[in-house]
Amino acid sequence: MKKVTIYTDGACSGNPGPGGWGAVLIHGTERRELAGGARQTTNNRMELTAAIEALRALREPCEVDLYTDSIYLKNGITAWLPNWKRNGWKRRSGKRLLPVKNEDLWRVLDQLVAKHRVRFHWVEGHAGNEENERCDQLARAAIPNRGDDG
């Protein structure tokens, strides 16, 4: 099984507002950068999209170390997701069950993670991690301007 290291980041100009995502995939000496954007989105949707698109880019099942500066993404996939699924894609808020935000993206990410062996790692954003900083640059550059889809 190939070992791949992935770094991801999302950015938003306003929240909600136009946003972008970036990902860096590393396998041995091979390196691939991905980026994209959306006109109306949130920072969390861009964080999820970065991870989704990075995993989609893998052509075969891989052993993946995925690094993100999003606690929402890391906790969502490693801690909250099993409960959401058990509760019919609902989250607890006090005694109430509410719909999971970004359920559409969480479902896709869950399916992609099942195809690979993925370990999620949190890295501090804007703290000098070279690959995380590169993802931030890619995400910011992908934020659509003037109403185009970037």
Catalytic residue, candidates 9, 20, 37, 53: 9
Are 125 and 136 in contact, with CB atoms under 8 Å apart? Answer: yes
Catalytic residue, candidates 19, 22, 36, 47: 47
Catalytic residue, candidates 10, 19, 20, 36: 10
- 69 catalytic per annotation: yes
Catalytic residue, candidates 22, 36, 69, 116: 69
DSSP state at residue 90: E
Catalytic residue, candidates 22, 53, 131, 136: 136
- 104 catalytic per annotation: no
Catalytic residue, candidates 30, 124, 126, 128: 126
- 149 catalytic per annotation: no
- 110 catalytic per annotation: no
Locate all alpha helices (DSSP H) within 22-129, ordered by sequence: 43-56, 71-75, 81-86, 103-115
- 148 catalytic per annotation: no
Q: Where are the beta strands (DSSP E) in 13-149?
A: 17-27, 30-41, 62-68, 90-93, 96-99, 117-122
The set of catalytic residues is 9-10, 47, 69, 126, 136
